[in-house]
Amino acid sequence: MATLFAVGVGPGDPELLTRKAERVLRRVDVVLAPVSNPAEASVALATVREFLDEGRQEVVVHQFPMTSDTSRLTLAWQEAAGLIAARIAAGKDVAFITIGDPLFYSTFIYLLRIFRESYPRIPIEIIPGISSINASAAQAGVPLAEADGKVAVIPATAGLEHIAKALAVYETVVLLKVKPLFGDILELLRQTGRQEATLFAERVGGNRQKILTDFAEITAHSPDYLSLMIIRCSS
Ligand SMILES: C[S@@+](CC[C@H](N)C(=O)[O-])C[C@H]1O[C@@H](n2cnc3c(N)ncnc32)[C@H](O)[C@@H]1O
């Protein structure tokens, strides 16, 4: 039976794909790439395009709207699952590509649930990817954890209260999805004296990569969705 591959393509640099991810992407019949806004290019697809043969392979770009409206989201996931299942039933191997790692804050997790419930016979292989967190730390040369140090990862959208609690307890705090609360986060970092301990990373691995450690520069910047922060208690 044909297989569904969930391929983590890393943060956006084609050289940060695993050899396994590249091998699978060169071989599958269909590649399904998620986008949140149909007017914008898929970062995952741009990352892997050089490995694809679009004359032979079908590339499907599917929209997963960025909304908290569960009924719209469920519809998008179910549509994607249906698209994939139909191709697998026709004997085609399908790769669902996702930035970073497929099991770390990825749309693929919702698809995985649908497949386990509605298409339990379809084989699924998950290929891990380098997370944006590891790629950002590497670009900046900032250690994420050592010895018995503890790390918290918080989607900033969870709220300032969770960020403040984590800053009080963990040696390293990683904030994803910082854009919507950027101003409030900066104010909290000022109040807690973390200006010197803050790293800002945007579009790591791509040609619009930005790594900032100067707090005044971070404050002056207007972040896009693909940005995160790493706050370290000690350097
Ligand atoms: C839905 S999560 C996806 C995480 C992804 N699965 C991973 O393993 O890195 C989206 C968030 O990840 C972070 N992110 C993803 N790619 C990034 C990149 N290239 N540079 C900086 N942050 C990135 C941003 O915080 C963004 O808001």
- Tens of pLDDT, residue by residue over 16-75, are 999 999 999 999 999 999 998 878 889 999 999 999 999 999 999 998 877 778 888 889
* Gap from CA of 231 to ligand 1 centroid (Å): 16
Residues 183, 108 share a domain: no
pLDDT band at 234 (very low <50, low <70, confident <90, very high): low
Residues 120, 26 share a domain: yes
Residues 200, 96 share a domain: no
Rounded to the nearest integer, the mean pLDDT of the chain is: 95
Structural domain for 145, as ranges: 132-232
Residues 155, 209 share a domain: yes
Residues having CB closer than 6 A to ligand 1 are 11-12, 99-101, 104-106, 131-132, 136, 176-177, 201-205, 225-228
At CB < 8 A and 24+ separation, what contacts does 60-65 make?
A: 60/30, 60/31, 60/32, 60/33, 61/32, 61/33, 61/34, 61/35, 62/32, 62/33, 62/34, 62/35, 63/34, 63/35, 63/36, 63/37, 63/38, 64/34, 64/35, 64/36, 64/107, 65/36
- Measured over the CA atoms of residue 203, residue 208, residue 211 and residue 212, the dihedral's sign is negative
pLDDT band at 235 (very low <50, low <70, confident <90, very high): very low
Residues 150, 40 share a domain: no
- Pick the closest to residue 106 from 71, 64, 46 (CA basis): 64
- Pick the closest to residue 99 from 230, 229, 227, 231 (CA basis): 227
Residues 85, 108 share a domain: yes
Helix (H) or strand (E) holding 161: helix 160-169
* Gap from CA of 88 to ligand 1 centroid (Å): 29
Residues 113, 18 share a domain: yes
pLDDT band at 141 (very low <50, low <70, confident <90, very high): very high
Output the pLDDT for position 69.
Answer: 82
Candidate of 16, 18, 110, 228 to mutate for ligand 1, largest count of ligand atoms within 8 Å of Cβ: 228
* pLDDT (tens digit per residue) in 207-222: 999 999 999 999 999 9
* Gap from CA of 119 to ligand 1 centroid (Å): 28
